[in-house]
Structure 1
Amino acid sequence: MKRVTVILNPNAGNAHQRRAIAQGITEWRSNQGWQVRLRETRKAGDATSFAREEAKRNDLIVAAGGDGTINEVMNGLVGTDTALGALPVGTGNVWVRELQQSLNPLHAARQLADGHVELVDVGQANERYFLLMAGVGLDAAITREVHSADKKRLGRLAYVIKSLPVLWRLRGTRTRISLDGQPLKGNALFVLISNSRLYGGVLNIAYRAAMRDGMLDVCTMMGDSALDAPKLLAGILFRGYGVIQGLEYVQAREIEIACSKPLPIQVDGDAIGTTPMTFRVVPQTLRVLLPRTTEIN
């Protein structure tokens, strides 16, 4: 019998999605014979504490929420023998999209029942682990402005609306980046440090990223202001790294970033602080439950 705990963020999603999760749990119990416990978070950090506690007596911990909830849960599971599963109840659901898992929580639950477990790499930003990516500068500044109520009311549109004043104020910041000891300098607008490919569940920015290669993929956008953004964005879309001035793509195991003034940082969609910060890859340290048809790149 598989022992499972579902950690639910009750503030994520809607009543229909929560009913779908309840039905999925019922099917796990009746069809798979799984022993399933449900725990609801009440504040930031609960999901990590619950996951760390439940990992001692469970085979599987399922995060039911958005990418922030998944990040909290995986921070309690890194280095353990307990696997991470996910049921999509968030705004972006980037991890679920990365796995080509259904965005319907009930269908996703059925996929997990027939799934398989693999070991994957994770990234680490100082002491915080991340599953998908870390962002420095522009996207972290936008993330910092978007609150849970905004996402619940507006969905992804909240990010578009909040991005406008951030873009208006955007200026390049003198930045020194160390990539496995190799220096890169410039006026940074945005630095992406990625363990996975899909940015926001849509853009394939880190197109060479693989979650089992022991590397992080680093994409840098250098420029003076938001006026440089259209050129750099076009370069990303057409993979003009190393060709478009200010756009670079490098793979590294350890990245150190220091700036002339603190720049905001986000991991997996949650703001966590400012530069300076060190990022590194932790190879094959997290067990994840994947749909049967999904293979980690």
Structure 2
Amino acid sequence: MSNEKSKIAFIVNPISGKGKALHMVPLIEKAFGFSHDLRINITKGVGDGSVMAGQAIKEGFQIVIAVGGDGTVNEVGTALVGTDAILGIIPVGSGNGLARHLKIPLNPSKAIEVLKAFHVTRIDTGYMNDRVFLNAAGVGLDAEVSRIFSTSATRGWMRYVKIVMRLSIKQREFDARLHLNENSEDVRITMLTVANSAQYGNNAKIAPMADICDGKLDICTLVNMNFTRSFSFLTALMTGKLVSGTHYVCVQSDRLEFESTEEWAHVDGEPVKIDGSLIFTSNPRSLNVIC
């Protein structure tokens, strides 16, 4: 960052990383407190990150840094979309999808060094109706996994795998209509994922070729899954080797209209109740991020 005294707001989720985020406060104060006009906000509940970030922007803070996981990053980023304000990330979550995609170090001290280097990139964001997503949004298997995962006492990759495999045994599919690239198609699918970045988090790359600055969404569908295919899918997901084929297809567009009777979706891993009708759109180059 420049020698000029910048106004920096930190939005800290105290429960991220099993409380690790809160322990970042002394490190933040030591790194930035003497050279910048500093504010540290501690969230207390869902939605606080967006409110606090929005207020910081109104009060002239040019840089707002999310200290937490993908949910916190989503809330803070949502308030900054379409503004000149700049998002920074100290990743302290279980998945850290956007940080991983942007190659922001997971080590807090190294993440702070990235913030100080102050290289800013303007990235795309996505909308699911009026909800912003930075990594991915989806319906079906990944939404159900997110819904169960959000209420789980334990997190981590192995918990995620167990949930996916348990749900895959049920071989649940649903009917949907996709309006994509001027074509409409009725499909029966296990999952729809609309990706802005390459991954959910934990290096689970649902759209390995996704470019977060190309103005396009990567639209991925999964069909006809069973236990054996789920194992193969998870292996490819975690090794970044998913390619379009019989059971997994990924195409690009800047817009998708989606209709189904599903009641749940997810936005950056957070479960969202829906009415079944969704419009996904890309918002090109709409968010400044330090990376």
Q: Say yes or no: TM over 0.5.
A: yes
Separation (CA, whole Å) in 2 of partners of 1:103 and 1:278: 33
Deviation at 1:235, TM superposition (A): 7.3
Hey, what does 2:170 align to over in structure 1?
169
Deviation at 1:232, TM superposition (A): 5.3
Instruction: Note if contact 1:186-1:222 (Cα within 8 Å) is conserved in structure 2.
Output: no
Task: Give ranges in structure 2 of 5+ residues lacking alignment.
Answer: none
Deviation at 1:204, TM superposition (A): 3.2
Matches within 5 A, 1:263-278: 264-274=264-274, 275-278=276-279
Hey, what does 1:101 align to over in structure 2?
104
2:107 is the counterpart of 1:117: no
Question: Relative to 1, partners in 2 of residues 1:162 and 1:205: Cα closer, same or farther, differing over 3 Å?
Answer: closer
Instruction: Note if contact 1:20-1:106 (Cα within 8 Å) is conserved in structure 2.
Output: no
Which of 88, 108, 116 pairs up with 2:91?
88
Which of 13, 37, 40 pairs up with 1:35?
37
Hey, what does 2:17 align to over in structure 1?
13
Deviation at 1:225, TM superposition (A): 5.2
Hey, what does 1:142 align to over in structure 2?
145
Separation (CA, whole Å) in 2 of partners of 1:193 and 1:99: 18
One-letter identity of the residue aligned with 1:82? A
CA RMSD of superposed structures (Å): 2.2
Q: Secondary structure at the match of 1:198?
A: coil
Separation (CA, whole Å) in 1 of partners of 2:111 and 2:243: 36
| Identical amino acids, percent of aligned pairs | 30
Separation (CA, whole Å) in 1 of partners of 2:171 and 2:6: 50
Question: Relative to 1, partners in 2 of residues 1:245 and 1:14: Cα closer, same or farther, differing over 3 Å?
Answer: closer
Instruction: Note if contact 1:21-1:106 (Cα within 8 Å) is conserved in structure 2.
Output: no
> Deviation per CA, 1:82-109, whole angstroms, max 9, x where unpaired?
1111111111111111121211112211
Instruction: Note if contact 1:214-1:283 (Cα within 8 Å) is conserved in structure 2.
Output: yes
Deviation at 1:198, TM superposition (A): 2.5
Question: Relative to 1, partners in 2 of residues 1:220 and 1:67: Cα closer, same or farther, differing over 3 Å?
Answer: same
> Deviation per CA, 1:169-216, whole angstroms, max 9, x where unpaired?
341111111113222332110111111113333233312211111110
Instruction: Note if contact 1:175-1:257 (Cα within 8 Å) is conserved in structure 2.
Output: yes
Deviation at 1:69, TM superposition (A): 0.5
Q: Secondary structure at the match of 1:101?
A: coil
Hey, what does 1:48 align to over in structure 2?
50
Q: Secondary structure at the match of 1:122?
A: strand
Instruction: Note if contact 1:86-1:96 (Cα within 8 Å) is conserved in structure 2.
Output: yes
Instruction: Note if contact 1:84-1:287 (Cα within 8 Å) is conserved in structure 2.
Output: yes
Instruction: Note if contact 1:29-1:36 (Cα within 8 Å) is conserved in structure 2.
Output: yes
Question: Relative to 1, partners in 2 of residues 1:17 and 1:235: Cα closer, same or farther, differing over 3 Å?
Answer: closer
Normalising by the residue count of structure 1, what TM-score does the alignment of the two structures yield? 0.87
Q: Secondary structure at the match of 2:30?
A: helix
Instruction: Note if contact 2:150-2:271 (Cα within 8 Å) is conserved in structure 1.
Output: no
Separation (CA, whole Å) in 1 of partners of 2:106 and 2:216: 28
Normalising by the residue count of structure 2, what TM-score does the alignment of the two structures yield? 0.89
Q: Secondary structure at the match of 2:175?
A: strand
2:24 is the counterpart of 1:23: no
Q: Secondary structure at the match of 1:96?
A: helix
Task: Give ranges in structure 1 of 5+ residues lacking alignment.
Answer: 291-297
Deviation at 1:276, TM superposition (A): 2.0
Matches within 5 A, 1:156-195: 156-195=157-196
One-letter identity of the residue aligned with 1:93? N
